Amino acid sequence: MSILQTLTVLKIGGNVVDNPSLLTEVLKGFSTWGGYKCLVHGGGKIANVYLNKLGIEPHMIEGRRVTDAPTLEVVTMVYAGLINKQLVGLLQSMGCNAIGLSGADAAVIPAKKRPSDPIDYGFAGDVILSDIPGYTIKSWLEDNLTPVFCPLTFDKQSGGLLNTNADTIASSVALTMSSFFRVRLVYCFEKNGVLLDPDQENSVIPTLNAADFLQYKNEGVISAGMIPKLENAFTAIAKGVSEVCICGPSAFRKENPIQGTLIS
């Protein structure tokens, strides 16, 4: 048995992307990590700022964006252009050889348009996991590049981009790459981890297994918003990802970092 090298896939949420000082702290930490690494970023509120500036009303159903054609044009500009290149530039200035990618680039995140029934989310994409070109990503990593994925996937048949949740892109990349590497998947969001009490930032649950999760869920301890994130995490572990961590920007502090919640 060979000893696999480690790949860390870090997903940073919109609240981190939107906060320049948190963002710099997180990227500084990330840029010093050893081993292979990828970054996946969310869209943040910047898309809504530009939609509003351009007179397009943002439209969400159950926390997910409804992406009509004008909205797709704006999120393509904001995600693949503004945010992605800002992150790549910051990482490059920190000595990390980042390369920004949408799902269309090298057709790296193939997807199909989500069916319009029961809810029509417009140009929303569901990742086709089996079509992700893992060998291409592997070759970039081995060339010392750090891929930076924006939350846009690609429909090869139409040639068009699709809007996809960044958490899903992160877990899809992590799952695909677990054929080649020991993969750690790290979700960095605005809280310090999974909290026992959502009002107490110091109530981080240090480790969580499937049995604990079920119990906490049944007891109503874990907040509704956290449940899909954790279900994704347990699915990733079940399918070959070695480790999932849910943490906040405090995990990237040099002094007294808060490690977050380790899912095992």
Structure-block tokens of residue 61:
């159903």
Which of 4, 32, 45, 54 touches a copy of itself by CB under 8 A? 54
Options 67, 84, 153, 165; binder of a copy of itself; rule CB under 8 A: 84
Residue 170 lies near a copy of itself (rule: CB under 8 A): no
- Phi, psi (5° rounding) for residue 152? -130, 130
Q: Where are the beta strands (DSSP E) in the chain?
A: 6-12, 36-41, 60-61, 64-65, 98-101, 111-113, 125-127, 146-149, 152-155, 160-163, 182-188, 207-208, 243-247, 261-263
39-56 as b/e: b if 16+ CB within 10 A: bbbbbbebbbebbeeeeb
Site string for a copy of itself, 110-139 (x = CB under 8 A): --------------------------x--x
Q: How far apart are CA 186 and CA 208, in angstroms?
A: 14
Q: Nearest distance from residue 123's CB to a copy of itself, in Å?
A: 12
User: Of residues 33, 64, 66, 82, which one binds a copy of itself by CB under 8 A?
Assistant: 82
194 binds a copy of itself (CB under 8 A): no
d(CA 256, CA 192): 13
32 Cβ neighbours under 8 A, 6+ residues apart:
none
- Give the shortest CB-86-to-a copy of itself separation in angstroms: 8
Nearer to a copy of itself (CB atom), residue 52 or residue 116? 52
User: Is 52 near a copy of itself (CB under 8 A)?
Assistant: no
Selected binder of a copy of itself within 13, 42, 100, 248 (CB under 8 A) = 100
Q: Which of 30, 79, 187, 213: binder of a copy of itself (CB under 8 A)?
A: 79
| 128 close to 78: Cβ distance less than 8 angstroms | no
Nearer to a copy of itself, 104 or 208 (CB): 104
- Give 116 or 139: the residue with its C-beta nearer to a copy of itself: 139
Q: For residues 13 and 29, what is the distance between their CA atoms, to the nearest angstrom?
A: 16
| Identity of the residue, 159 or 220, whose beta carbon is nearer to a copy of itself in the bound complex | 159
Binding letters toward a copy of itself, positions 136-165, x by CB under 8 A: x--x---x-x------x-x-xxxxxx----
Count residues binding a copy of itself (CB under 8 A): 42
Q: Which is closer to a copy of itself, CB of 154 or CB of 187?
A: 154
How far is residue 69 from each of residues 56, 61, 76, 124, 153, measured CA to CA in Å?
A: 11, 17, 11, 11, 15
